[in-house]
Structure 1
C-alpha cells in the first residue's frame, strides 16, 4: 500500500456504496486499485497520464472517474456518507457558509465556449449542468474558480457550488443553502433546514436575511458598516439593527478550517480540469476520501 492509499478499514466502509460490478463484458480491474489511482491524481494534482503504473493504465482511472461523474456516482456516494453521519448523530446542524478562490492552471483553459456539443440532434445530457463560462473567472491574478461551501460544526460539508472566481458570495447564498438535503434512514422527509446559519459580512444583505427569516432559520451575520450608517440615517424608518452574537460568530472558524483541509488536495487547491463538472467531481471525491 502506497502513501495515501485506502486502508482496509476505509475500503470496507466505501465498497458497499460503490455501483455493482457489471456481469457482462470484460472483467473490471480491481476497483480499489483504480480508486487509489484516481485519488492519487486528485491528491497530487498530476496529469492523468502521469498516474503511477502500480494503479494500472491511466486510461482506466480516467474512464472510471469520468463515467462516475456523468452518472452521478460521486455525488451519490457523498450523500450516502452524509446520511450515515446524520443517522449516527455526527452532523451538527449549525452551518457556516463561506467561499474560497482556487487558482486555475493554464491546462484548465481551452474548453469549448460556444454552447454545448450536439450529437444526433440533442445536447449531451451529462453536460447539461456545465456553465457557459466553465466556472472560470479572469482577474488580476489570472484564471480562478471559486468554491462556495456550507459546512456544519463537526466539519461535514453539506453543500458545494462552483462558480467563476470573480463571482460574489451573496448571490450564491440561497442556491448553496437550497442544496442542503440529507435523507433520513427511516424514510422521512430529507432534512434541509439548518438549526442556525453563520456567515461573515459578505453575506449581509436584506434579501438573505428575508430568505432566512422566511425559512425560520436563525442566523448570525454581522452588519456592514455602510448598511448600519444608512439605517441610522433613516432614523426610525431604518428599523432595528439585526441581532448579532459575537460568541456564536466565533464558531464560524469551523468552515475556514474545513476549507484548509479540503485544499490539502492539490487537485482542488489548483484547478486542472477543463470542465466545471469534472472539477466539482474532484471536490466530491476529496470530500468522500476525507469522510472515510
Structure 2
C-alpha cells in the first residue's frame, strides 16, 4: 500500500529532505517507530480520501492516523513540503516543463467546518465560516505558489505575497527565475495600485477591467488556474477544511501542489522517451 500511495521515485526525493531520526537506545529500545515512508503513506491517504485521521485503516496503510498526523505536524513545522515543491519545480524547469513567462493567479473558496486561524465569513456561502485557496500557476497549470487565507479576504490582497512565495527556480544556465514576465488575472485584481506594483517588479499586468463588456480574450490564457484548482480539489481533504491549525492545512495544500508537479514531471519523462 505504501508503494501505491508513495511511488519509489517520489519517495527518493522526499527522503533526502526529511530530518534524521534520533538514535535509538541499545538497551530497552521500546516499540520500533513507524518508518517515515509508511507515515507519509498515511498522510497521502488522508489527503486523497478525505477521511478523518482516526479513520485511517492501520491494517491497510501500515500506521495509525495519529502517527500520520504527528509526522505531518513535525514535517510541516520543518518546512519539508515547501522544499519538496522547490525541488520538483527545479526538475521541471530542467526538463522544459515550465513556462516562466506567462502566469495566472486566482482564488477559490472552501468551507471550513472548524474554527481556527484563517477562517472567516464567506461572501459566496451565506457568510458561513470558510477559507480561501490562492494559487499562481504557469500556462501548463503548474502551481508555483499556493496559500491559505480567511474566506473574507479579498483575492488581490494575496497577489504580492504569492509573487514573493515563488521560489528561486534554478535548473538552467543563468540567474534563477522567481517572477513571470506577464501576469493574467480577472476583474477582482483590477486595482491601479497593484498594477503599479507589478510594473515596478518588471511584470506586465494583464488584468481584466471592471465595468467593461466580456470578451477581452484574457480568459483563453487565464483558464489554466481554474484547472489547477480542479486538480487540487481532487484531493478530497482540500475540498473542505477540517484542520483547525492553518499551518497543517497549508502543509497539505503544498503537498498536493508538489504531487501535481511530480505528475507533470513523470509525464514529461514519458514524452521524452
With the shorter chain as reference, the TM-score category is 0.7 to 0.9
Deviation string, structure 1 residues 11-54 (Cα, Å, up to 9, x no partner): 34x34443254251266423222111111111122221111113
Q: 1:257 to 1:172 in 2, by over 3 A?
A: same
| 1:146–1:164 Cα contact (<8 Å) kept | yes
Residue 42 of structure 2 is aligned with which of 37, 41, 62? 37
Residue 129 of structure 2 is aligned with which of 128, 143, 147? 143
Q: What is the aligned partner in structure 1 of residue 55 from structure 2?
A: 50
Aligned: 1:101 with 2:109:
yes
Q: 1:208 to 1:167 in 2, by over 3 A?
A: same
CA distance in 1, matches of 2:120, 2:49: 24
Deviation string, structure 1 residues 162-214 (Cα, Å, up to 9, x no partner): 11101111222112222222332479653222021000011011011111111
| 1:220–1:249 Cα contact (<8 Å) kept | no
TM-score, length basis structure 1: 0.78
Matches within 5 A, 1:39-118: 39-54=44-59, 55-93=62-100, 94-105=102-113, 108-109=114-115, 111=116
CA distance in 2, matches of 1:157, 1:284: 9
| 1:45–1:272 Cα contact (<8 Å) kept | no
Q: What is the aligned partner in structure 2 of residue 126 from structure 1?
A: none
Q: 1:16 to 1:189 in 2, by over 3 A?
A: farther
Q: 1:187 to 1:23 in 2, by over 3 A?
A: farther
Q: What is the aligned partner in structure 1 of residue 157 from structure 2?
A: 171
Aligned: 1:223 with 2:221:
no
Residue 269 of structure 1 is aligned with which of 239, 254, 273? 239
Aligned: 1:154 with 2:140:
yes
* Secondary structure, aligned partner of 2:110: strand
Q: 1:183 to 1:10 in 2, by over 3 A?
A: closer
Once the 2 structures are TM-superposed, how far is the Cα of residue 281 of structure 1 from its aligned partner?
0.5
Once the 2 structures are TM-superposed, how far is the Cα of residue 101 of structure 1 from its aligned partner?
0.3
Query: How many residue pairs were aligned?
Result: 250
* Secondary structure, aligned partner of 2:231: helix
CA distance in 2, matches of 1:92, 1:152: 6
- Structure 2, gaps ≥5 residues long: 263-273
Q: What is the aligned partner in structure 1 of residue 192 from structure 2?
A: 206
Q: What is the aligned partner in structure 2 of residue 18 from structure 1?
A: 17
CA distance in 2, matches of 1:263, 1:21: 32
| 2:17–2:83 Cα contact (<8 Å) kept | no
* Secondary structure, aligned partner of 2:167: coil
| 2:94–2:172 Cα contact (<8 Å) kept | no
Q: CA RMSD in A?
A: 2.5
CA distance in 2, matches of 1:29, 1:154: 37
CA distance in 1, matches of 2:98, 2:48: 25
TM-score, length basis structure 2: 0.83
